[in-house]
Structure 1
Amino acid sequence: MPFSSEIKNFRLSCLMNQTEFGNALGVSFTTVNRWENGKARPNIKAMKALKQYCEECGLPYEPLEKSWRENRIQEGAV
């Protein structure tokens, strides 16, 4: 599954809108929107914030990380 779909499904499972999700991760609504539309992907700092959020809330981080890594490989960013 593309990271954009994975992150959107994750946010929706948290019952948050993009603004609330961005606030929880320390990023803007615009950043979350760009992730979900496939126009950008999180940097390492944002992924660390996402991992911390998952750990604090007892949510699975692995599917997000796997999708993020697969997208990086496909883009040749590794």
Structure 2
Amino acid sequence: MLTFVQLLKRVRKELNISQEQLARELHVSFSTVNRWENEKSNPNNIAKKVFFDFCKEKGIECE
């Protein structure tokens, strides 16, 4: 099973989008996505739900 960080990076790569673009899609700041990817912070449960809903909307298996 992938960690959240691995999943986040895989989804960005699959969609060919930047951290900034993903941040806009998730309605968070660029620095938030950057901190998640660099394991400086962890998303809360609400942010994770938004991310998983985003994946579902894009047709990407994330769970």
Whether 2:33 is the aligned partner of 1:37: answer no
Whether 2:61 is the aligned partner of 1:47: answer no
Alignment length (residue pairs): 62
- The answer to which structure, 1 or 2, has the higher relative contact order (CA under 8 A, 6+ apart) is 1
Separation (CA, whole Å) in 1 of partners of 2:38 and 2:56: 25
Q: CA RMSD in A?
A: 1.3
- SS of match in other structure, 1:40: coil
TM-score normalized with structure 2 length = 0.84
Gaps of 5+ in 1: 63-78
Separation (CA, whole Å) in 2 of partners of 1:2 and 1:59: 16
Structure number with greater Rg is: 1
TM-score normalized with structure 1 length = 0.70
Asked if the contact 2:7/2:62 (under 8 Å) is kept, the reply is: no
Gaps of 5+ in 2: none
Aligned to 2:9: 8
**Superimposed CA distance per residue, residues 14-65 of structure 1 (whole angstroms, 9 cap, x where no aligned partner):** 1110110011111110000001101111111111111111111111121xxx
Q: Percent identity?
A: 39
Separation (CA, whole Å) in 1 of partners of 2:3 and 2:32: 17
